[in-house]
Chains A and B, each alone.
Chain A
Amino acid sequence: MSGVRVLVGTHKGAFVMTSDGKRKKWDISGPHFAGWEVYHLKGSPADPNRIYASQSSGWFGQVIQRSNDGGETWEPVDNSFAYKGTPGPHTWYDGTPHPWEFKRVWHLEPSLNDPDTVYAGAEDAALFHTTDGGKSWDEIAGLRQHETAPRWQPGAGGLCLHTIILDPSDPARIYIAISAAGAFRTDDGGKSWKPINKGLASGFLPDPTAEIGHCVHHMAMHPSKPGVLFMQKHWDVMRSDDAGETWREVSGNLPSDFGFVVDIHAHEPDTIYVVPIKSDSEHIPPDGKLRVYRSRSGGNEWEARTKGLPQENCYVNVLRDAMSVDSLDECGVYFGTTGGQVYVSADAGDSWEPIVENLPAVFSVEVQTLP
């Protein structure tokens, strides 16, 4: 019987959770890298036993770990993330120029077909990649050298490149998102990039529809519809049907259109999930109720999916990389909270159960569907 492996990054280490296709009983290993922040782990689609993890600490900096056996054992690989050339300044919170400084890797995106190739999204915003399984990292500098880069400003979490989407239909096309510069796309493997923020409106900007400066929290794409993108922006849930050239709002009847995560059903490209959060100043669920909202129409019409989730006195957040789906026949949906719970729905969101309830704050959740 096929099964799943859930990779969870937390404030104090990583956890690996496995189950069979029923997704009822779980084996949990960890904490791996105990005491370190693990912003993200992700497995290679080409070799599920190859997993990469971003381990970091305010004291000791960045470490990248690699597993060749599905997360049972790990080996540190190279951790040198050097910006190409002499990086010029970006714009600091107060509007002054600020030098570009590497702080950590937020997101690791393994290639769709080569286990040794991985993209890494960094703070301060830059895209790196390795083609030798992590032995060395090289900046794809065209992005940071974009003409708008000196005007990029950090969001509250830092100037982080947190989303990387590889287009399965076109190896030269990559989407990325930066808080708070916005979304960008390359069609030539990273040599040149264009901002793809037309249609976004951000009230905190002097020009709400500016070319850049939007606080994109996360984006998702279904592999069967590579031109269709969904976005959870600081405020507003957005959809693009033309590879990001234009966006339209699909927040519809959500109780709040602020949030961090957005993800897509594995078999239904128009079934999407978000977790509404009350506001940018509070970062808690509306009314103390933890609710996943599902739209089966690609947005605008949303239904709350609450069975099994706390519906009173719940004030956790769900961070941008903390939702994922499996691709079993009945699609599983997973998310983790800043309160240390990891929830699974084995019925596409209709009902939820906790896998664990007392982890450190969850930063990221990724799921591998195993043969």
Chain B
Amino acid sequence: MIRVILPAHLSTLAREKGELEVEVGEPVTQRAILDALEERYPTLRGTIRDRVTWRRRPYVRFFACGRDLSLESPDAPLPEAITTGAEPFLVIGAIAGG
């Protein structure tokens, strides 16, 4: 199982608290995780990536194992620590005012 941590607003929308787990087949990539996440939680569709272009929304970033993976290819394999569940895949909302 892949561990995912969402920003608080998206956890609320998914009606979950804390860390989530989703099942993802090989290879484990950003796209595969987001596909699995949106399949299990349809209310998250469009909130992390645009529903038309499928691009990451500008104020959302992806981190894992202390690294910012936001600009990596969505189809690049993720670090082994993510695939084994040792580390979570982090969806981060930009710290911005308002």
Specify whether A and B are partners. Answer: yes
Query: C-beta contact mask, A250-287 vs B, less than 8 Å → 1, else 0?
Result: 00000000000000000000000000000000000000
Report if A141 contacts B (CB, 8 A): no
A63: CB under 8 A from chain B? yes
In whole angstroms, how far apart are the Cα atoms of A57 and B96 in the complex?
12
Verify B51–A63 contact, CB threshold 8 A: no
> Which of B19-27, B41-49, B69-77 lines the interface with chain A?
B41-49
In A74-122, the 8 Å CB interface with B consists of 76, 79-80, 82, 102
Main secondary structure of the interface of B (DSSP, over half): loop
Chain B residues whose CB sits within 8 angstroms of the CB of A36 once the complex forms: 9
- Given A58-B96, A76-B43, check contact A102 B52 (CB 8 Å): yes
Q: Is A60 an interface residue (CB 8 A)?
A: yes
Residues A292-319 near B (CB distance < 8 A): none
Chain A proximity of B15: nearest CB distance (Å):
10
Whether B9 pairs with A60 at a CB distance below 8 angstroms is yes
Residues of B within 8 A of A62 (CB): 46
Q: Beyond A76-B13, A79-B45, A79-B46, is A59–B51 a contact (Cβ under 8 Å)?
A: no
Task: For the complex, give the distance between the alpha carbons of A57 and B60 in Å.
Answer: 12
Shortest beta-carbon distance from A353 to chain B in Å: 30
Residues of B40-98 whose CB lies within 8 A of A: 43, 45-48, 50-52, 57, 59-60, 93-94, 96, 98
Contacts of A35 in B (CB 8 A): 9
Bound Cα distance from A80 to B52, whole angstroms: 8
What CA separation (Å) do A35 and B11 show in the bound complex?
13
B10 in the interface, Cβ–Cβ < 8 Å?
yes
Cβ contacts under 8 Å, A60 to chain B: 7, 9-10, 13, 47-48, 57, 60, 93
Report which of A11, A59, A76, A80 forms a contact with B57, defined as CB distance below 8 A.
A59
Residues 32-49 of A contacting B (Cβ, < 8 Å)? 35-36
Closest chain A residue, CB of each to CB of B47: A60
Asked if residues A61 and B47 are in contact (CB atoms below 8 Å), the reply is yes
Chain A residue at minimum C-beta to C-beta distance from B50: A61
The answer to whether residues A59 and B46 also contact, given A76-B13, A82-B51, A82-B52 and a CB cut-off of 8 A, is: no
Task: Report chain A residues within 8 Å CB of B9.
Answer: 35-36, 57, 59-60
18 contacts between A and B (CB under 8 A): A35-B9, A58-B59, A58-B98, A59-B7, A59-B9, A59-B60, A59-B93, A59-B96, A60-B7, A60-B9, A60-B13, A60-B60, A61-B46, A61-B47, A63-B47, A80-B46, A80-B52, A82-B51
